[in-house]
Amino acid sequence: MNTWLRFIYRTPEKPLSLGTAIAVSFFLGIFGVDRYLMGYKWWWLKTITLGGLWVWYAIDLYKIAIGKLVMADGREFL
């Protein structure tokens, strides 16, 4: 993958596994930890709105489960 994108979004070398992403989103997604680990820049908005009043939390969990939400630099989960 393009190392420049990984530098911009500050994503880890190895993308998260799908199971890990779903678990983190389920348990800590209300605080934006899932978006933080995926490298998204505006993850803190999810924290201060408590997951968008649980709506954004549910949408992110669903999108991760079906594979529509990927790492910020475009890589898919393992």
The model's pTM is 0.84
Residue 37 falls inside a structural domain: yes
> Is residue 8 situated within a structural domain?
no
pLDDT score recorded for residue 1: 53
At 13 the pLDDT is: 77
Cα distances (angstroms) measured from residue 53 to each of 18, 35, 45, 57: 24, 16, 11, 8
The answer to whether the beta carbons of residues 8 and 73 sit under 8 Å apart is yes
pLDDT of 24 reads 96
Taking the chain (78 residues) in runs of 10, the rounded mean pLDDT of each run is 69 85 96 92 92 94 94 87
Question: Would you say residue 78 lies in a domain?
Answer: no
The C-alpha atoms of residue 69 and residue 24 are separated, in whole angstroms, by 14
Phi, psi of 70 (to 5 degrees): -115, 180
User: Looking at the domain assignment, is residue 4 inside a domain?
Assistant: no
Instruction: Give me the domain span that covers residue 34.
Output: 24-70
Place of tokens 């933080």: 36
